[in-house]
Structure 1
Amino acid sequence: MENNEVLICGAGIAGPALAYWLRKAGFAVTIVERTPAPRPGGQTVDLRGAGRTVIERMGLMDRARAESVDQHGFALVDTTGRVTARVGADSFGGEGIVSEIEILRGDLARLLYDATAADTEYLFDDTVTGIDQGAGGDGRADGVTVTFERAAPRRFALVIGADGPHSVVRALAFGPERDFVRPIDVYTAWFTAFDGPDLNHIDLDGWFLMHNAPGGLVVSARPGRLPGEIKAGFSFRSPALSYDRRDVAAQQDLVARRFARVGWKTPALLRSMRTAPDFFFDSMGQVRLDSWSRGRVALLGDAGYCATPLTGLGTSLALVGAYVLAGELAAAAGDHAVAFRRYDEVMRPYVDQAHQLPPGGAAGYAPSSRLGIRMRDLSMRSMTRWPMRNLLAAQFAKAGDIALPHYGLAAPPHRSPGAADRAPTGSHGTPRVG
């Protein structure tokens, strides 16, 4: 029997999305995930452009809308909480800074898990420790032998790394992280807080609020899906820092020191940070590779082409990449060499555009000086007027700037703007990975 099994490392958004389409194409799929269960909560992510089209083709848009977070838009506030600039969620056709459909990352991941759990094998609380593309026990070089931290070794036809910017699969098959991750010198912490006396009753009124302080400091608070739930964030610009990624208390100490003298709701948010159930801290960086495949191993989403949260395109890249990778494997009848080449050809222009940071880049997001903050506020107030509107419209339009193919795996309910179609690329018979 030909090997038709695909291992995906990572059960976030990209991994289950790929599993959904691979199962439609007839592949047998296993997903291994480091955490003991799908991760709940998290910050809001956008469903926009071609990423929204993929969710529509999966038949999941109604559920995604039902899970979406109600946000009126994005606003900048000064140290007293006075709004200095605001942009509504309806700006730029509903696909601006805050898009029409915003959903918590954990809710989207759960939606995708629910859509795949019945016919996908999930290995939670485990991870990949070794990848060997040599011949198997029968002497055939038609697969990949994978060792796990807990499970017994197994042989797969293909291995896909969908395990984020610090990808284990990429490190094992491609090389060390330093060769592929380009820092933009921004660090960020995310966590969930709950409104109440300890937060001095932050009244978001449905708005995503952001406060800047000199020194490249950013404090943000936006509504969650549940009443009183606040999704908070601290970001700061800094050259490379050395810290233990497993020591949460030390990371919180680092954040507290950086923001000790910042106004607005910062002191209350720092207190809430200490007891947050989902605190997360990391550097921002872009992942860049000349090729997303090595033999029978390929990379997907942030593992292969993280664009940083500043672009707002991470979810679109994950969903579109999963759809294209599965579609090309189906179209090539499992010929991974052909499929991986086509995956690169279709996705590369989309990824290259996504890697272009918004105007100002990190400095625009986190200005260092009071003058820089005032200038950024002024530009924000001008976002919906010429010439700023044209510049920002081009940035937001990147989410849909791909000729999204039809692979015959699902019939779209309608065509999304900016997502043109092309004919299928090949045979759609029972896939065999050759």
Structure 2
Amino acid sequence: MRKRIIISGGGIAGLSAAKLLAEQGHEIVVVDKASQFNNAGFLVSLKSFGVRIMEEMGLVDNLIKESTSSEFMHWLDSNGDMIRDVSYKTVNQNTSQSILITRGGLHHVIYEHVKHDVKIIFGKTIADLQQDGKIVHVKLSDGQEMDADLVVVSEGLRSSTRTKYFTESRLEDFNLLYMGGRLKEKHPYKVGTIRTYLDVNKMLSVYPVNNEEVAIQCYIYSTGDIADIHSNANQLLRKTFKNYNSEVQHLIEEFIKEGLMFVDKMGMVEAPNLVEGNVVLLGDAGYCPTALSGMGASLSIYGAKALSHFLAQSPDNLAISLDRYNELMQPIRKKFQENARNNAKSFIPKNEADLIRFGSLFKNASDEEVSKMMTEQLILTEDQLNFTIK
């Protein structure tokens, strides 16, 4: 049965759901607070089942065209000395390929393949929701009113709709600041080789996007208020890496002067129920696992596929479809959020002793052990991959 579905938030999760649901014949309206599509964004790594689903959607070749080469990762200490040189080919021997791409590039590929099939309303947000039996009455921020059979909330980590209507949900402060950005400048780094510096309470990665552009991503332990962090971001970035080598110092200064930076406190969303009547949470709005899970983008795409799968499976019973979606996603949410906590402990240790311990373990492990360490947590069960609930 054809349904009218309003999707609030046109990011990766929202547009993936829009594409999949439109292909099933549903009428889709996407509402996004941005005034227009923006191709900017920091780097993400699409891995494992995320790549598999994009391939099923017929978009993986387009992603590869937009991707950044990633062949090796040099894990370094704060002095720039090598801890371990890791080959992605070796690491990924037991899992599918990973695709390193800007968030904007991933967004762009999905947007270009859905924009003509759905209605997209830019510059608006949901101001109010009222459920009346099987109908959801939606009022937008400009006063426009619409009715829908289903509302999908994919507004991201700090979703105001989730906060207002999913009162049992909570946002867990991960006490880590994320800073990521891109800089158009010739640089000395080899394209395809990522440099990651491990240190106490911080981690810095340098990604050569191409010969004319470089990206950085860093995590800094912080219990500060996000407003204060935004107002002092440049000073914090400079202070955090002030004792690093001159190459890093130069890169940081150039980013402060000319780079495009994204700054936010990382958090996790714990929503005991992703469904309230005919309103459902999707992507980071419902189960953000933070960037340290390594699977945020893939999990958003997987959630969109799961939602569309269950709607197709029970087209005449929306309640059953949404219950199955919630039942499938809850253990997966917990798995990847726990992975993020474990990764934070390993890759961003709280003290020097833990840093030395992990550095030694990482340096002396076999290739097979490193592959297991870096990819085992990315794997879903066969039942989960096939959206089977027992």
- TM-score w.r.t. the length of structure 2 is 0.90
Which residue matches 2:113?
115
Note closer, same or farther for the CA distance 1:289–1:281 as it changes in structure 2 (3 Å cut).
Answer: same
Q: Given the alignment of the two structures, is residue 244 of structure 1 paired with residue 227 of structure 2, yes or no?
A: yes
Write the distance in 1 (CA, Å) between the matches of 2:241 and 2:70.
Answer: 26
2:382 & 2:271 partners in 1: Cα distance?
A: 20
The whole-number CA distance in structure 1 between the counterparts of 2:366 and 2:122 is 46
Alignment correspondent of 1:52 = 51
Instruction: Return the offset for 1:306.
Output: 1.0
Amino acid at match of 1:168: S
> Structure 1 residues 220 and 314 mapped into 2: Cα distance closer, same or farther (>3 Å)?
same
Cα deviation 1:377-426 (Å, max 9, x = unaligned): 22222444465554444223x2x43535xxxxxxxxxxxxxx45869x9x
Q: Deviation at 1:156?
A: 1.7
The structure-2 alpha-carbon separation of the partners of 1:233 and 1:145, relative to structure 1 and needing over 3 Å to count, comes to same
Match of 2:217 in 1: 233
Partner of residue 218, structure 1: 203
CA–CA separation in structure 2 for the residues paired with 1:316 and 1:223:
22
- Alpha-carbon offset, residue 270 of structure 1: 2.8
Structure 2 partner of 1:189 = 179
Once the two structures are superposed, what CA deviation does each residue of 1:12-52 show, in whole Å capped at 9, x if it has no partner?
A: 11101100111111111111112222232323323322222
- Aligned-partner residue type, residue 333 of structure 2: V
Alignment partners' CA distance in 1, 2:240 and 2:79 = 19
Counterpart CA distance in 2 for 1:21 and 1:251 is: 39
- Equivalent pair of 2:238/2:253 in contact (CA under 8 Å): no
Residue-pair matches, total: 390
SS of residue matched to 1:59 = coil
What residue in structure 2 maps to residue 155 of structure 1? 147
Q: Evaluate the alpha carbon distance shift between residue 148 and residue 347 of structure 1 in structure 2; reply closer, same or farther with a 3 A threshold.
A: same
Are the structure 2 counterparts of residues 95 and 272 from structure 1 closer, same or farther at C-alpha, using a change threshold of 3 Å?
farther
Aligned 1:273-292 pairs, distance under 5 A: 273-276=255-258, 278-292=260-274
* Per-residue deviation, 1:106: 0.9
| Secondary structure of 2:127's aligned partner | strand
Corresponding position of 1:82: 81
1:335 is aligned to: 317
The alpha-carbon distance between structure 1 residues 393 and 108, as it changes in their structure 2 partners (threshold 3 A), is: closer
How far is the alpha carbon of 1:82 from its aligned partner?
3.3
Distance across 2 between alignment mates of 1:392 and 1:384: 12
Q: Distance in 1 between the 2:287 and 2:175 partners?
A: 17
Answer with 21-30 or 258-267: which moved more: 258-267
Q: How does 1:254-293 map to 2 (within 5 A)?
A: 254-263=236-245, 265-276=247-258, 278-293=260-275
- 1:305 corresponds in structure 2 to 287
Identity level (%): 22
TM-aligned CA deviation for residue 276 of structure 1? 4.8
Q: Is this contact kept in 2: 1:91–1:384, CA < 8 A?
A: no
Give the AA of the match of 2:226: Y
Is 1:15–2:14 an aligned residue pair?
yes
CA change 1:421–1:129 in 2 (3 A) is: closer
The Cα offsets for residues 151-183 of structure 1, whole Å up to 9 and x where unpaired, read as 61222221111111111221121138xx51222
Letter aligned with residue 172 of structure 2: R
The alignment partner of 1:319 has SS state of: helix
1:209 paired residue number: 195
Corresponding position of 1:130: 128
Higher mean C-alpha displacement, 266-275 vs 8-17: 266-275
> TM-score, normalized by length of structure 1?
0.81
Contact 1:9 1:32 in 2 (8 A): yes
Cα deviation, residue 302, structure 1: 0.9
Structure 2 counterpart of 1:210, one-letter code: T
Give secondary structure in 1 for the equivalent of 2:227.
coil
**What secondary structure is seen at the aligned counterpart in 2 of 1:146?**
strand
CA–CA distance in 1 between the matches of 2:213 and 2:381? 34
Q: Alpha-carbon deviation of 1:340?
A: 0.6
Residues 223-278 of structure 1: per-residue CA shift (max 9 Å, x gap): 22x43211112321123x21328x85533334334444444544223323334563
**Match for 1:145 among 121, 125, 137?**
137
Q: Contact conserved, 1:144 with 1:155, CA < 8 A, in 2? A: yes
Q: Structure 2 unaligned segments of length 5 or more: list them.
A: none
Contact 1:45 1:103 in 2 (8 A): yes
CA RMSD of aligned residues (A): 2.8
Matches of 2:11 and 2:365, distance apart in 1: 33
Matches within 5 A, 1:285-434: 285-357=267-339, 360-385=342-367, 389-396=371-378, 398=379, 400-403=380-383, 419-420=385-386
Residue 261 and residue 13 in structure 1: after superposition, are their counterparts in 2 closer, same or farther (change >3 A)?
same
Moved more, 249-258 or 317-326: 249-258
Amino acid at match of 1:253: Q
Structure 1 unpaired stretches of 5+: 136-140, 405-418, 426-434
Please list the CA deviations of residues 338-391 of structure 1 after superposition, one character each: whole Å capped at 9, or x if unmatched: 111111223333333222226843231212344433333222224444655544
